Structure 1
Amino acid sequence: MASKPNTLPQSLLPAQPGLEVLRFAALLAEREQGVLDPEDIGLGTDALQPGDLDKVPPSEIWPELYRGLMAARPSAMMRALQASGALLAVLPEVAALFGVPQIAEGQSEVDVGNHTLKALDEAAACSAPFEVRFALLTMNVGKSDSPPEHLPVHYRHVERGKPRVEAMARRFNVPDSCRDLALLTLAECDRIHRISAVRAGPVASLLDRVEAFSNPQRFNWLMQVTSCDYRAYGGSRDGVYPKAALLDTALKVCVELGDGAQGGAADEIQAARAIAIAQAFRSQRWSNEAQ
């Protein structure tokens, strides 16, 4: 009898049981469409015994997680780890997000864990770098233990999430660029989702706070993170994330101010930028209304 064509070759799996499950899940993420076969899920579940992953140091766990996160369908790896019980062992901060509700666009609710997986797949769809994917993986970890009386809103999740993000970064020894973007995302993503074209001052302050002028690469990564998060909520993949487009316009007009905005005190620079942003937003609005 011919072997099932989509069964993972045993030669690709390490001998250590805990690592075998991780490698298995990472390979699933590399499959076309990331399809999970029921028999494969069963194999992964049966392979993991209680305590297996307790014996594996994070330095050996991380390469498998990295491989799956950088694959075409990271959610396939995460689902397989969840089914086997390995997700709770290696990423307990993420495992705790499943079953936690959150308000989405239009006041509907989403499951935070499922939303995280969708956002990771959106990052894979646009070939986002690892910094972006790590930020998406960790940006909601402060929401797992929000007070029940506040749900589905997550007050003070940033304060709860910061030490968890830092602990994950230390545990797996991720590059500083990953940790820094993850912490910036934690602090600023919700604010970016709420920015408005009628409030130029806060937009100017946000650009300064996220160091859009001095660290443009990280700012671009932050825009990728927020765009993937937006699309995971059901935003169109075909168009530009509207808030990213607003910030792009604002950044461009501030850069165009050049030396004219650099000679004054910090508050004067911010005021000049806010005026320029307000004028640009107003012109853009009039242009759109004329079409």
Structure 2
Amino acid sequence: MTQTLLQMAALIACGAVWRALQPGNLSAEQVRPVLTTVVYYLFLPAMVLEVLWRSNIGIQSIQYTILGMAGVFMGLLSMSLLGLLFKFNHKKQGAMLLAAAFSNVTYLGLPVLEQTFGGWARSVAIQIDVFAIAPLVFTLGIVIARHFGEGATEQHKPVLSFLNAPPFWAAAVAVLLNLNHVIMPTVLADILQKLSAAVVPLMLFSLGLALSWSTVRCRNLPFLLPVVIIKMLLMPLFSLWLAGWLWFDAPHKAAAVLEMAMPSMVVGIIFCDRYHLDSALYAMTVTVTTILSFFTLPFWYSVLTP
């Protein structure tokens, strides 16, 4: 696990160095949207199609969905109770809810699981993402951002319309082909594999572009601490308990719980900007929880694989 995280850290560091040096006068804010758009519309759907077409889809997929969604609701409930107790203002509360509930299961979780457990673990990460986390991000997450934020060009756009996206279409096609036992053509498999190979390095590089120490401010530390406790401790503990009731075998249980121990998702920064939540607090949370995950993930891995 340590060696895997060091490899991940090297790719993330490349993004951080680019952010600092800005080669070709291209800032991180210019490069990251282009990379993430290409990944979202091309490379990630290709990986989703390749992996889910060949995956064992069935009762275990339902278990992944239950685990992922339950983790999100646990994070939301915990953060909501703390918000009521300490009376956080709306903009901070909205940012903290998003940061506490939604994990970086794709941009960091997918490469960590693949490198740690092997190629089979990509299916775990992708199923948790497309069947549980992503649908909630683009529905419940937007509802939360709208409620605690203010004004946006998409204020009146139906929430469910956000599910009309390439990864979800790729997942729907893959599941349909999988359940109908359609054999993947060799030529198509080779193309999808080559496209899929670009996902991990681009995701990690983009994550590095998103991290910024300039967002780390002392006045935000009291708001950061509850998110760190929920994200790094309570959510993995809750997921470990729940996974014990879902009849996973040992390797799939370890991969699924480790996926739920990931830091805060990067996409939330976009929500915070769009709906005028506390973007600086959210960016700080992503940066700090990502750095902390390089210490907490080996701990949870040791717990899950004694």
Q: Which has the higher contact order (CA 8 A, sep 6+)?
A: 2
- On whether the aligned pair clears a TM of 0.5, the verdict is no
User: When the two structures are superposed, what TM-score results if normalisation uses the length of structure 1?
Assistant: 0.29
Greater share of residues in helix = 2
